[in-house]
A and B are shown apart, each in its own frame.
Chain A
Amino acid sequence: MRIGKKRSDKRLYLFLILPSVTILFLTIGYPLINGIFLGFHYYRLTDPARGIVLNGLQNFRMLLFGNRIFWISLYRTFLYCIGSTGVSFFFGFLIALLLYGPIRNRSLFRSLFLLPWVIPSTVVALLWLWIFNPQYGILNFLLKDLGLINQFQSWLINPSLAMPSVILATSWKYFPFFMLMLLAGLETIPKELFEASTIDGATFFQRLRYVILPSLKEIIIIVTILEIIWEFQNFTIIWILTKGGPVYQTTTMGIQIYRTAFRNYDMGMGAAMGSLSLIAMLIFSLTYIKALKFGEGD
Chain B
Amino acid sequence: MSHYRTIRFVSGTVQYIVIILLLAAVMFPIIWMVSTSFKEHHDLFETPPRWIPRNPTTSAYQRIFISRAGAGGVNFLTYFKNSLIVCSATVLFCILLAIFSGYALSRFHRRGRKSLFTVILMTQMFPLPMFLITFYIMFMRLKLLNTYTGLIIAYTSFSLPFCIWMIKGFFDKIPVELEEAALVDGCSRMSALWRVVIPLVSPGIVAIGIFAFLSAWDEFMFALTLMSQDAMRTLPPGIVLSFVGEFDVRWEDMMAASVVATLPVLVVFLLLQKYLVEGLTAGAVKG
Pairing of A with B? yes
Do residues B33 and A127 form an inter-chain contact, with CB atoms below 8 A?
yes
B28 within 8 A of A: yes
Q: A191 with B3: in contact, given A127-B32, A277-B130 (CB under 8 Å)?
A: yes
Residue-wise interface mask of A (96-109) relative to B, using a CB-CB cutoff of 8 A (1 in contact, 0 not): 01111111100001
Residue-wise interface mask of B (99-110) relative to A, using a CB-CB cutoff of 8 A (1 in contact, 0 not): 011011101100
Do residues A267 and B100 form an inter-chain contact, with CB atoms below 8 A?
no
A162 within 8 A of B: no
A87 within 8 A of B: no
Q: How far is the CA of A223 from the CA of B153 in the complex (A)?
A: 27
Nearest A residue to B244 via CB reads A240
Do residues B124 and A195 form an inter-chain contact, with CB atoms below 8 A?
no
- Set of chain A residues within 8 Å of B36, measured between Cβ atoms: 130
Q: A3 with B180: in contact, given A109-B23, A120-B217 (CB under 8 Å)?
A: yes
- Set of chain A residues within 8 Å of B194, measured between Cβ atoms: none
Please count how many residues in chain A sit with their CB below 8 Å of the partner chain's CB atoms: 106
Q: Which of A138, A235, A282 is in CB contact (< 8 Å) with B32?
A: A138
- Set of chain B residues within 8 Å of A262, measured between Cβ atoms: 132, 136, 225
B64 → A minimal CB distance (Å):
13
Q: Which of A20, A27, A277 is in CB contact (< 8 Å) with B127?
A: A277
Do residues A34 and B134 form an inter-chain contact, with CB atoms below 8 A?
yes
A198 within 8 A of B: yes
- Stretch from B7-15, B55-63, B200-208 at the A interface: B7-15
- Stretch from A10-18, A53-61, A153-161, A290-298 at the B interface: A10-18
Q: A3 with B107: in contact, given A17-B101, A141-B48 (CB under 8 Å)?
A: yes
Do residues B126 and A278 form an inter-chain contact, with CB atoms below 8 A?
yes
Residue-wise interface mask of B (206-238) relative to A, using a CB-CB cutoff of 8 A (1 in contact, 0 not): 000000001001101100010000000001110
Do residues A109 and B19 form an inter-chain contact, with CB atoms below 8 A?
yes
Do residues B240 and A126 form an inter-chain contact, with CB atoms below 8 A?
yes
Do residues B160 and A118 form an inter-chain contact, with CB atoms below 8 A?
no
- Set of chain A residues within 8 Å of B72, measured between Cβ atoms: none
Do residues B280 and A21 form an inter-chain contact, with CB atoms below 8 A?
no
Chain A, 267-293, CB within 8 A of any chain B CB = 267, 270-271, 273-275, 277-278, 281-282, 285
- Stretch from A63-71, A78-86, A178-186 at the B interface: A178-186
Q: How far is the CA of A172 from the CA of B21 in the complex (A)?
A: 15
Q: A122 with B134: in contact, given A104-B16, A258-B129 (CB under 8 Å)?
A: no
Chain A, 1-49, CB within 8 A of any chain B CB = 1-4, 8-9, 12-13, 16-17, 19-21, 23-24, 27-28, 31-32, 34-35, 38
B65 within 8 A of A: no
Do residues B100 and A16 form an inter-chain contact, with CB atoms below 8 A?
yes
Given A126-B243, A257-B130, A258-B129, 9 new contacts (CB under 8 A):
A12-B189, A16-B101, A113-B22, A120-B218, A120-B235, A120-B261, A123-B261, A131-B32, A274-B130
Interface residues of B (CB under 8 A from A): 1-9, 15-16, 18-19, 22-23, 26-30, 32-33, 36, 44-45, 47-49, 97-98, 100-101, 103-105, 107-108, 117, 121, 123-138, 153-154, 156-157, 160-161, 164, 176, 179-180, 183-184, 189, 214, 217-218, 220-221, 225, 235-237, 239-240, 243-244, 251, 254-255, 258, 261-262, 265-266, 269-270, 273, 277, 280-281, 284-287
List 9 tightest A-B contacts by C-beta distance, closest first.
A274-B130, A27-B157, A204-B9, A101-B4, A184-B281, A257-B129, A122-B236, A16-B104, A20-B101
Interface residues of A (CB under 8 A from B): 1-4, 8-9, 12-13, 16-17, 19-21, 23-24, 27-28, 31-32, 34-35, 38, 91, 94-95, 97-104, 109, 111-116, 118-123, 126-131, 133, 135-136, 138, 141-142, 145, 172, 180-181, 184-185, 187-188, 191, 194-195, 197-198, 204-205, 207, 212, 218-219, 222-223, 225-226, 229-230, 232-233, 235-236, 239-240, 253-254, 257-258, 261-262, 267, 270-271, 273-275, 277-278, 281-282, 285
